Chains A and B, each alone.
Chain A
Amino acid sequence: MIETIVIPLLKIAVLLNAVLVSVTFMTLLERKVIAWAQSRLGPMRVGPYGVLQAIADPIKLILKEDITPVKADRMMFTLAPIISLVPALVVFAVVPFGGDELFYITDINVGLLFIISVTSIGVYGIILAGWASNSKYPLLASLRASAQLISYEIAVTMTLVSVILTAGTLSMVGIVQAQQDSGLWYGFVQPVAFVLVLIGGLAETNRAPFDMPEAEQELTGGFHTEYSGMRFALFFLAEYANMIVISAVVTVLFWGGWLRPFPSIDALAFLDLIPSWIWFFGKMFVFLYLFIWIRATLPRYRYDQLMRLGWKVLIPIAIGNIVVTGIAKVVL
C-alpha cells in the first residue's frame, strides 16, 4: 500500500512543486541572463538582486483581472491554457532525475514515446486558444504555431528513432544505462541527432529563433493575445515547463543523464562522489542557459523559412541519420 500509493503520490507532489517553482525562477534567470548579455542589470528592486521578482510576478498574475472576451467561446477559452499546461507537467513522470529509484516516478518501457506523444497533445492548447479567442491575430498565430509544432515534432521523432536504435530500448532509464554500458555519452555517438534534437526542441518550445507563435513584433503577442491574468500565466508556465522537459530529454538521451563524464574511465571515479542528481541538474541547467543565450543572440526566422528548415533540411538529415545508424548497427 505505502509502496504503491503513498510514495508515488509524495514523489508526484514534490516533483510538481519543484517544477512549478523552478519555472518561476527560470523566468528570473532568463531576465537576468538576457540583461547581462545586453549590458544591463535586469530586475533589481524586489529582494536582493531582484531574487524575489520570481515570487512577485506570479502574485501579480494571480491578482490580475481574468478577462474573457465577449465573443470568445467560453468553454474552449478556459480549456485551452489547461490543455497546454497539463501535458507539459505529465511528461515529468518518466524523466529520471537520478540513478536511484527515488529520483523518478516511474520507468515505463515506452518512456521516450510516452514523452513524445504526451507533448504532442500540448498543441491543442495553442490551436484552441487561437480559435476560441475569436480574434484575427491569435488565430493567425495559432495556425502558425500548430503547423510549426507538428512539423518539428516529425523531425524530432524521426531523429529520436536513431537514438532508440543505438540504445535498443525506449525506456528513459534504459537509455542512460545503455550509455553507461557503452561507456560513451550518445552525444558523441550521435552528434548529428543531438544537434537536430536541440534545434527541434527550440522550435517545439516556441523559443527564439523559432518564436513565431508569439512574435510580438508581427502578431502583437501571438495566440495568447486575448488572455490575461492566471490563464495567461498557464501558457507561460507551459512554455517554461516544456523548456525544462526538452533540456531533461536532451540530457538523458545525449549527455548521459545522471552519469559522470566518461563513465567507463575508472581514473575519474572520484567524480562519483558528486551525487547523480547533481550531475543531472547541472547538465540540464547548461541547456536551459543555452536556450536563454540563444534568445539573446539570434534574430527570428520567418515562418516560411522555418518550415523550409524543418521539412527540407531537418527531416531529410534525420532520415539519413536513421539509415546510417541502421547500417552501422548491422555492420558492427
Chain B
Amino acid sequence: MAEALAFYTLSVLILGLAVAVITTPNTVHSVVFLVLNFLCVAVLYVFLQAEFLAVIQVLVYAGGIVVLYLFVVMLVNLGRSPEEHQDPRRLGLIGLGLSGAVLLELAGIIAYSYTREQSPPVTAAQASPVQGNIEELGWLLYTDYLIPFEVASVLLLVAMVGAIVLARRES
C-alpha cells in the first residue's frame, strides 16, 4: 500500500518534471528540472531494489552529464529563435514521426510481455554464481554482455577523441 502510494507519487513527479523540462522557456531552469527528474528516477530504482543502479544514475547522469549540459547552456548562446527554419511545420512533422515510433515501440513491448510465458523473473541472476546486486551486475557485464560493453567503451573513446579534435584550435 505505502509502496504503491510512493510509486504513484513518484511517477506523477517524474512525468510532471519531464513536461516542465520541455515547456520551460528558460533553458537553465529546464536543465534543473531534468536533474530533478533524474533524481526521482533514481528513487524509483531504489524501490526496485537496484541501489547500485540508483547510485550510478545519480553519479553519472545527475552529477556528471547534466553538469556538462548546464555548461553548454550557460556558455553557448542559445538565443536563436526557432523561426530560422524555413519550414515551421518541418519540426512538427519530425516530432509526429518520432512520437509515433515511440508509441509503436511501447505497444510492441506490452504485446510481447503479454504473449511471453510467465517465467520466473531474471533467469541470469539465478545462473550467476555470485550473490548481491553489484556483483550480479558486474558478472553479467563481463560475461554475457562483454561484447556490447567493450563496443560501448570503444564508442565513447572515439567520441572523446572526436571532441578533442573538434575543440582543438588552429594556432
- Tell me the A residues contacting B by CB distance below 8 Å: 73, 75-76, 79, 108-110, 113-114, 116-118, 120-121, 123-124, 127-128, 131, 139, 143, 146, 150, 153, 157, 170
Give the number of A-B contacts (CB < 8 Å). 68
In the complex, which residue of chain B has the Cβ closest to the Cβ of A154? B64
**Nearest Cβ distance between residue A138 and chain B, in whole angstroms?**
12
B32 contacts A76, CB within 8 Å? yes
CB<8 Å pairs between A and B, sample of 19: A76-B28, A76-B29, A79-B32, A109-B51, A110-B134, A113-B56, A116-B59, A117-B55, A120-B59, A120-B62, A121-B35, A121-B62, A121-B63, A123-B63, A139-B74, A143-B75, A150-B64, A153-B63, A170-B134
Query: Which A residue sits closest to B38, measured CB to CB?
Result: A121
Q: CA separation between A143 and B39, bound complex, in Å?
A: 23
Q: Is the CB of A108 within 8 A of B51?
A: yes
Query: Is there an interface contact between B59 and A131, defined as CB atoms closer than 8 Å?
Result: no
Report yes or no: B55 in contact with A113, Cβ–Cβ below 8 A: yes
Cα separation A117 to B29 with both chains bound (whole Å) = 22
Contacts of B63 in A (CB 8 A): 117, 120-121, 123, 153
Least Cβ–Cβ distance between B167 and chain A, in angstroms: 14
Which of B29, B32, B52, B58 lies in contact with A120, CB distance below 8 A? B58
Please tell me if the beta carbons of B67 and A150 are within 8 angstroms of each other in the complex.
yes
Partner of B132, one of A76, A109, A117, A139: A109
Question: Is B74 touching A127 in the complex (CB atoms < 8 A)?
Answer: yes
Residues from 24 to 73 in B contacting A, C-beta threshold 8 Å:
26, 28-29, 32, 35, 39, 51-52, 55-56, 58-59, 62-64, 67, 70-71
Give the shortest distance, in Å, between B46 (CB) and chain A (any CB): 9
Residues of chain A within 8 A (CB-CB) of B64 are: 120, 150
Q: How far is the CA of A116 from the CA of B55 in the complex (A)?
A: 9
B125: min CB distance to chain A, Å: 16
When distances are taken between beta carbons in the complex, the residues of chain A under 8 Å from B32 are 76, 79, 124, 128
- A131 engages B28 (CB within 8 Å): yes
What residues of B have a CB within 8 angstroms of the CB of A124 in the complex?
32, 35, 67, 70
* Residues of A with C-beta under 8 A to B133: 109-110
The 10 closest A-B CB pairs, nearest first, are A120-B63, A117-B59, A117-B58, A113-B55, A117-B55, A110-B51, A110-B55, A131-B74, A110-B52, A114-B55
Question: Hey, which chain B residues are within 8 Å of A121, CB to CB?
Answer: 35, 39, 58, 62-63
Residue of A nearest to B46 (CB): A108
Q: Which residues of B contact A150 (CB under 8 A)?
A: 64, 67
Q: Tell me whether A113 and B28 are in contact (CB under 8 A).
A: no
- Cβ–Cβ < 8 Å partners of B52 in chain A: 110, 113
Of the candidates A116, A120, A146, the one whose C-beta lies within 8 Å of that of B71 is A146
* Nearest CB of A to B163, in Å: 15
